[in-house]
């Protein structure tokens, strides 16, 4: 099933999400639905709070970005459950970012180019993996959703002001995008 995506202003996006309990029902199905919801909206990452579930889980699939320059993205599809970022690399890069919960907003955000992450997949297999570059950025973006943060929290006050009217419209439930959303 395809879920509506919760937009800026929905309180669940600002809550610290709870760990996924071991007996959480039908995780593989939920992961599958999260991918479907994300593909439908042309996203490459989606966190559970963005579909209204305050649990520590997100999905990423960068395979649409695979090309000769980035063949490694071909199998860049992961489900992250109860993830922990164990290490942030010292190098950073500032790149444009968007978010399905902030339609129409793209801003530069500074992120580490490497993260080491411990997580479980949808079958409760434990993994520890290093992610680089775009994958590292996606992990950091999605991880923030689990702590009730959004990428616009990381931009400068000036840039925030530039987006004020757009954000204000979202708070009034006025959103212009082609996937289905839930607003306040």
**Residues with catalytic function:** 142
User: How near is the Cβ of 99 to Zn ion at its closest, in Å?
Assistant: 3
Instruction: Identify which of residues 76 and 99 has a Cβ nearer to Zn ion in the complex.
Output: 99
- Yes or no: say if 36 and 3 are a contact pair by the CB < 8 Å rule: no
Instruction: Identify which of residues 56 and 74 has a Cβ nearer to Zn ion in the complex.
Output: 56
Instruction: Identify which of residues 51 and 99 has a Cβ nearer to Zn ion in the complex.
Output: 99
Query: In this chain, which stretch among 26-34, 97-105, 128-136, 173-181 interacts with Zn ion, using CB under 5 A?
Result: 97-105
Is 5 a binder of Zn ion (CB under 5 A)?
no
Reduced to 3 states (helix: H, G, I; strand: E, B; else coil), residue 22 is coil
Query: In sequence order, which residues have a C-beta less than 8 Å from that of residue 47 and are 6 or more positions away?
Result: 17, 57, 58, 142, 145, 146
Is 48 a binder of Zn ion (CB under 5 A)?
no
Instruction: Identify which of residues 101 and 112 has a Cβ nearer to Zn ion in the complex.
Output: 101
Look up residue 27 and give its DSSP letter: H
Look up residue 18 and give its DSSP letter: B
For residue 59, what are the β-bridge partners?
46, 79
Query: In this chain, which stretch among 19-27, 33-41, 91-99, 168-176 interacts with Zn ion, using CB under 5 A?
Result: 91-99
What residue spans of the chain are helical by DSSP H?
Answer: 27-40, 133-146, 157-162, 164-171
Is 57 a binder of Zn ion (CB under 5 A)?
no
According to CB under 5 A, which one of 34, 57, 81, 99 is a site residue for Zn ion? 99
Rounded to whole angstroms, what are the CA distances from 133 to 124, 127, 137, 181? 26, 19, 6, 29
Longest dimension (CA), the chain: 45
Task: Please give the residue ranges that form the binding site for Zn ion (CB under 5 A).
Answer: 99
């Amino acid at each position: 099933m395809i879920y509506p995506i919760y937009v800026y202003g929905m309180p669940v996006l600002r809550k610290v999400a709870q760990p996924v309990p071991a007996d959480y029902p039908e995780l593989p199905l939920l992961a599958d639905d999260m991918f479907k919801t994300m593909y439908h909206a042309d996203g490459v990452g989606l966190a559970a709070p963005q579909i209204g579930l305050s649990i520590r889980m997100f999905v990423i699939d960068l395979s649409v970005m695979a090309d000769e320059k980035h063949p490694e993205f071909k199998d860049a599809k992961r489900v992250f459950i109860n993830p922990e970022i164990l290490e942030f690399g010292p190098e950073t890069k500032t790149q444009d970012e968007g978010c399905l919960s902030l339609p129409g907003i793209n801003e530069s955000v500074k992120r580490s180019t490497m993260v080491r992450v411990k997580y479980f997949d949808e079958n409760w297999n434990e993994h520890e993996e290093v992610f680089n570059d775009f994958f590292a950025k996606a992990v950091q973006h999605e991880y923030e959703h689990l702590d009730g943060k959004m990428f616009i929290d990381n931009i400068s006050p000036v840039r925030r002001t530039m987006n004020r009217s757009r954000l204000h419209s979202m708070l009034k439930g006025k959103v212009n995008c082609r996937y289905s959303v839930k607003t306040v």
